[in-house]
Structure formats: C-alpha cells, structure tokens
Amino acid sequence: MNTGLKTGLNTGLTLGPLEPGSGVSTPAAAMVSSRGLNASDPLTLTVDIGGTNIKALVLKNSGEIVRQRESLPTPSPATPPAVLSVIEMLAERLAPFDRVAIGFPGVVQKGVTRTAPNLSPAWKDFFLEGELEQRLKVPVRIANDADVQGFGAISGKGVELVLTLGTGMGSALFIDGILVPNLELPHHPFEQNATYEQRLGQAALERLGLEEWQASLLRAIALLRATFNFDCLYIGGGNARMLHEAGLPADVRLVQNILGLIGGLALWTRVQGTSLVRAPQAEGAHCLIVDSPASDSPFESTPGVG
C-alpha cells in the first residue's frame, strides 16, 4: 500500500497512511460540527458506496485526512434502508463533520438515484440526498461513484476517461475538466454479445480467470481509445491493484481506490487557480498524483477480491 499521496496542486500536502481510524462515536442527530456550516475550513464526510464495501473518511478542504478511512461490508440485499443504516454507523464513527459527499454506484440526477445494478432495484427513483440530510442533519451532495473518482484523478486537460474495476464497473468522461455525467459505459455492448461490465466485472474475473480477464481489459482499452480518442485513461477500483502501469499503453494510468473518497471534495469545493466547472453543483476538483507501481509486468501474478 502506498504510504502517502501528494496533491497535484503543488501545495506540498502529503496524505498519511490509509489505515482504519478509531472515529468518535456520536448520536446521528448531533453530527453537525460545533464550528457551524459557515466555518472557513468545513469538514467533509466522503462516502464511497461499493458493491462489496461501503467506505468513508473525513477531509479538510485541502484534502488532508482528518479521520482515517472506515469500512463496513455492503449489506445483502443492499436495499436503501440497509445501506442507509451502514452509512449512519460510519457517520457516527467519524463525527463530527459539516457536510457529506456520496459516490453512488449508479445514475444520479439532482440527488435522486435512478439505477443501481449492483445493489438493488429498490434504488430506482430514490431521493437519497434528501433522506440522508434528514438522518445526518447536515447538507449532502451525491454523484455517480466513477464520476467522483474521476474528480480525484483527472488533470483537467483534454479528453480524460475513467474506468473503475470492482464488483461491477464504472466509467466517467471529462473534457477539459468538465464532467459528462452518468456515462454508464459498462452497460454498453462490448464483445461476444456481452457488455463491458459482463466482461470486466468481478463475476467475469472469477469466471474467465485472471489471464483472460486481463486480455479482455486490453481489448477494451483499444476499443475505447478508438471510440473516444482520449488523451488519458485512468483505471481505478478494487481490481485495479492487479494491474501494473509499466506494461500498459503510455496513455493509461493506474489510480488508487482512495480517490473514490478524496474526489468527493469536488462536490463542494474548488481548486485554487482554475475556474473549470467539474461537478454538478460546484467548481473544481481535487486532483492527486499517484506513483506508478514498480514492475516490469502490467499484471500482478495473483488475483485478489474486493
């Protein structure tokens, strides 16, 4: 595991090791920071809802981690009440904070979840933003989880595509830092009458084996390059750890899964020195530079799950 991350904003900030923290337990109704919502440096609880785990941490506007990442298993079935209960438990551990940013694995429009293929059909047309604001008593903003991870990875220059590989698959597209929201590329046709997610998600990895899964990914990269003519493709998510950048094409970069949390800041803040609109409700994004893995091979020899 990388011991630290540096921002791409030349601030000199280094984020510490990403070990689970001990969070402060506080009743849900008392989570608003005593400093108030107009504090000069409000604390943001960022949450990444995944098909396997739900993760959260608390950040300053600078990107500094105030309380380290906590994680709990995604409930099964992952219905709205069950997932909301897990988020409340994480929020209690990590309180206090002033506001919340959520990365959700599906289409999100104005705080309403439209799809959640790897959670439950019950998420269709669910007003998650409003429900969480009622429960946590702080303002909440929500976006697609791959969009959020993209906010943490992109440079803001040219055409940038983001893929997240985990339980399912996510995608995000940015043009000069401006988001094209809810791309949902994983559910588009790819090859052999299968979608991208059916060939590159966790179920495909287990069914095809590591070698064929890797080959499918390389074919997908070639097809996506021909489709989008991207300047850079970022690959993140839990299963990106089985790849090594050294053997991948020069326009492909691996990014750490933690960006699915760090990128949540873009739903609330702006980066100094840029006026690019990169989020549905805010300006800017926090961009991190991640060191490339040291290896002569683009792939790990042993697959993992998570």
5-19, 161-175, 273-287: least confidently modelled range: 5-19
Paired residues of 170 in beta bridges: 164
pLDDT in tens, 270-296: 543 333 334 444 333 333 333 333 334
The number of distinct structural domains making up the chain is 2
Does residue 61 share a domain with residue 98? yes
pLDDT at residue 70 tops 50: yes
In a domain, 284, yes or no: yes
Instruction: Tell me if 48 is assigned to some domain.
Output: yes
Question: What are the φ and ψ backbone dihedral angles of 123, each rounded to 5 degrees?
Answer: -80, -5
Name the least confident of 104-108, 180-184, 302-306.
Answer: 302-306
3-state secondary structure of 155: coil
Q: What is the DSSP string of 122-136?
A: GGTTB-HHHHHHHHH
Contact present, 278 and 284 (Cβ < 8 Å): yes
Cα dihedral: 79, 148, 178, 280 (round 10)? 50
Residue 39 is predicted with a pLDDT of 58
For residues 29 and 42, which has the higher predicted lDDT (pLDDT)?
42
In a domain, 90, yes or no: yes
Query: Is residue 23 assigned to a domain?
Result: yes
Indicate if 269 and 170 belong to the same structural domain: yes
What's the token pair of residue 95? 């309180």
User: Based on the domain organization, do 231 and 214 belong to the same domain?
Assistant: yes
Q: Percent of the chain beyond pLDDT 70?
A: 75
Closest CA to 186 of 218, 220, 219: 220
Query: Is 279 among the domain residues?
Result: yes
Average predicted confidence (pLDDT) for the chain: 79
- Whether residue 232 is contained in a domain is answered as yes
Range of the domain at 240: 155-289
Indicate if 283 and 167 belong to the same structural domain.
Answer: yes
Res 203 pLDDT > 90: yes
The reply to whether 117 and 210 lie within a common domain is no
255 and 279 together in one domain: yes
Task: Give the max Cα distance, the chain.
Answer: 56
Q: Are residues 52 and 97 in the same domain?
A: yes
Are 159 and 197 in the same domain? yes
276 and 188 both lie in a single domain? yes
Q: Residue 25's domain is classified under what CATH number? A: 3.30.420.40
Asked whether the whole model's pTM tops 0.85, one would answer no
Residues 48 and 138 in one domain: yes
Residue 297 lies in a domain: no
Q: Is the pLDDT of residue 209 over 70?
A: yes
Give the domain-ending residue among 147, 175, 195.
147
**Cα distance between the two ends of the chain:** 15
Phi, psi of 83, deg, nearest 5? -70, -40
Instruction: List, for residues 85-127, the tens digit of each pLDDT value.
Output: 999 999 999 999 999 999 999 999 889 999 999 999 999 999 9
What's the rounded mean pLDDT across residues 241-256? 89
Could you say which DSSP state residue 118 is in?
T
Same-domain status, 116 and 169 = no
Is residue 280 within 8 A of residue 256, CB to CB? The reply is: no
| 122 in a structural domain | yes
Task: Assign 266 a pLDDT band (cuts: 50, 70, 90).
Answer: confident
Do 120 and 159 share a structural domain?
no
CA distance 45 to 47: 7
65-to-7, 14, 92, 258 alpha-carbon distances in Å: 12, 10, 17, 11
Cα 207 to Cα 209: distance, rounded to the nearest angstrom? 6
